[in-house]
Amino acid sequence: MSAPTDPAEWVEAAALRHPERCFLRTAAGAVWTYRALRTESRQFAAALAQLGVNPGDRVAVQVDKSAAAVFLYVACLRLGAVFVPINVANTASEVDYFLRDSQPRVAVVRPEDHAALEPVARRAGVLHVETLGADGHGTMSARARASIVPAGVPAPLPQIPRVNAPAAIVYTSGTTGRSKGAILTRHNLLSNAGTLAAEWRFTERDVLLHVLPLYHVHGLFVAINTVLASASALLLLPKFDAALALEHLPAVTVFMGVPTHYTRLLQERLLDRERTAGVRLFVSGSAPLLVDTHREFLQRTGHTILERYGMTETLMNTSNPYAGERRPGSVGPPLPGIALRVAGAEPIGTLEVNGPNVFAGYWRDPDKTRDAFTADGWFKTGDLGRIDAEGYVSIVGREKDLVISGGYNVYPKEVEMELDALAGVLESAVFGAPHPDFGEGVTAAVVPQPGALLSEPELLGALRTRLAAYKVPKRVLLVPELPRNAIGKVQKNVLRATYESLYRGR
């Protein structure tokens, strides 16, 4: 069979070849086959069409994770609608911005949020506000069930748009201002999922344990699309819970998580080689994985975690090899068909990327889109990194997180690696805070390991033997935890805001 030319073909191809193969099952034991996926997604697509959604129209979705939410996403792919996922933690004020900016025809929200969000959506010009609950019930699913004509055949759907048309608008975290809507095309999704399925050796026999949220590219496009592209299966958990994930590991072959998931799994005494014997691949992404976590997981399970690198605007850029050296501290070489380079003449610089994975631009913001690309068309990631002679990429931090102290560039990752290597340190985050003499003072927040007795003078003394003087933090702050977003990334903007007056008066 020829390779798919559009994401909508994933569902049809799998349903035709293997209609009774499991596509998704839940922890409660509910099962949907690929035949059922085709039916469910077509019903949701027909329901959207009856609400006036045409190819290119936006559908904003802020709902809890569920099988029905997956079907709704696939329905948008099949209809040609533009899927706009919204974090369930976003407030009504934040949702108001997303709706006014993306101008969806339909918004789908949790039943318990309808009363609060319906007037927000109406003021933003949204024509229809539907509901979908974690149990799969709501007005959206009721419309889907009603979309079947008496003969049992779903209503016809309009022709899907061209492959380079928008498939999704995903809003970035907005750490430096208002969130920007990254436009991902149908070809972005198609090419990246196909590449990952091939590089990570996905087959129809694989089962992916899905513990990630559905409003982020990791859980939505990396996980679900790779399963669809390979006609494999999902075991869907509502959220990550270490004990529950450990319970289900023997039934799966692939696990995708963020570094926090791995540190919490390592806290489970039942995590061992026997429990993970059936898993062929553990993938980590969305935030840097500590070298110590990498090594401890290998020691406990015999598995070497595969770390990869991607972002909202580009999906996945690099990956450690499936068969080959998976280097702790590196995100591996660029994926096939994708090119990465370092801007400037220095070994460390801003990473720039080019390839079929790169987004089409920011929604209705030509100025930010123009600023995001180089003159020769490469996307400026904003990540600082280096590429070694063998092509392996190492990320040393975000460009905006670079600390310039007394005229010297300090890369936070370098300091963090030294801190994390010290006895008693669980994790750290290094950032710049305004300093009257140095411009920015290198500052570290450190989380001690349980039971460890650490002191600021002790940590600073140890760092002075390991780092040049200008890299040593002016202060080391002992904190119970680091601020993180929903996918586990440390929010250095929160740290900078919290400690902006730390050096005032010095």
Q: pLDDT tens, 312-321?
A: 999 999 999 9
Q: Is 340 within the bounds of a domain? A: yes
Q: Is 214 within the bounds of a domain? A: no
Q: What's the whole-number mean pLDDT along residues 287-299?
A: 89
Considering the domain architecture, whether residues 138 and 32 belong to the same structural domain is answered as yes
Q: Return the pLDDT at 154.
A: 56
In the numeric block, which tokens belong to residue 144? 């889907």
Closest CA to 266 of 450, 499, 33, 493: 450
Residue pLDDT, tens place only, 418-462: 999 999 999 999 999 988 878 889 999 999 999 999 999 999 999
In the numeric block, which tokens belong to residue 230? 């390979």
Q: Return the pLDDT at 489.
A: 82
Q: Is 59 within the bounds of a domain? A: yes
Looking at 146, 161, 176, the residue that finishes a domain is: 161
State the residue for tokens 């492959």.
163
Considering the domain architecture, whether residues 89 and 35 belong to the same structural domain is answered as yes
User: CA distances (Å), 145 to each of 110, 140, 142, in order?
Assistant: 18, 9, 5
Q: Is 110 within the bounds of a domain? A: yes
Give the CATH number of the domain where residue 329 resides.
Answer: 3.40.50.12780
Structural contact between residues 478 and 448, judged by C-beta atoms closer than 8 angstroms: yes
Q: What's the whole-number mean pLDDT along residues 131-144?
A: 97
Q: Is 221 within the bounds of a domain? A: no
pLDDT band at 175 (very low <50, low <70, confident <90, very high): very low
Considering the domain architecture, whether residues 385 and 325 belong to the same structural domain is answered as yes
Considering the domain architecture, whether residues 386 and 264 belong to the same structural domain is answered as yes
In the numeric block, which tokens belong to residue 416? 């963090």
| Angle (CA) 217 218 221, round 5° | 55
Q: What's the whole-number mean pLDDT along residues 402-412?
A: 84
Q: Is 257 within the bounds of a domain? A: yes
Closest CA to 65 of 116, 131, 133: 133
Instruction: Write out 356-390 in H/E/C secondary structure.
Output: CCCCCEECCCHHHHHHHECCCCCEEEEEEEEECCC
**For the chain, what is the mean pLDDT?**
92
Q: What CA–CA distance (Å, rounded) separates 80 from 191? A: 17
Structural contact between residues 71 and 108, judged by C-beta atoms closer than 8 angstroms: no
* Three-class secondary structure of residue 422 per DSSP: coil
Considering the domain architecture, whether residues 382 and 458 belong to the same structural domain is answered as no
Q: Is 202 within the bounds of a domain? A: no
Structural contact between residues 95 and 117, judged by C-beta atoms closer than 8 angstroms: yes
Considering the domain architecture, whether residues 384 and 411 belong to the same structural domain is answered as no
Considering the domain architecture, whether residues 420 and 285 belong to the same structural domain is answered as no
Give the CATH number of the domain where residue 151 resides.
Answer: 3.40.50.980
Looking at 127, 161, 195, the residue that finishes a domain is: 161
β-strand partners of 487: none
Q: Return the pLDDT at 426.
A: 93
Q: What CA–CA distance (Å, rounded) separates 298 from 138? A: 44
pLDDT band at 153 (very low <50, low <70, confident <90, very high): low
β-strand partners of 385: 349, 395
Residue pLDDT, tens place only, 61-70: 999 999 999 9
Q: Is 209 within the bounds of a domain? A: no
DSSP codes joined into one string, 227-284:
HHHHT-EEEE-SS--HHHHHHHGGG-SEEEE-HHHHHHHHT-TT-STTTTTT--EEEE
State the residue for tokens 């992916």.
208
In the numeric block, which tokens belong to residue 418? 């030294």
Please count the structural domains in the chain.
3
Q: What CA–CA distance (Å, rounded) separates 37 from 167? A: 19
The amino acid occupying position 105 is R
Query: Which DSSP letter does residue 4 get?
Result: P
Looking at 140, 161, 182, the residue that finishes a domain is: 161
Considering the domain architecture, whether residues 383 and 451 belong to the same structural domain is answered as no
Considering the domain architecture, whether residues 485 and 425 belong to the same structural domain is answered as yes
Considering the domain architecture, whether residues 99 and 248 belong to the same structural domain is answered as no
Considering the domain architecture, whether residues 382 and 434 belong to the same structural domain is answered as no
Helix residue spans in 351-487 (DSSP H): 366-372, 412-420, 456-464
Q: What CA–CA distance (Å, rounded) separates 368 from 364? A: 9
The domain of 422 spans: 402-498
Considering the domain architecture, whether residues 408 and 381 belong to the same structural domain is answered as no
Q: Return the pLDDT at 203.
A: 97
Closest CA to 329 of 406, 427, 395, 240: 395
Give the CATH number of the domain where residue 467 resides.
Answer: 3.30.300.30
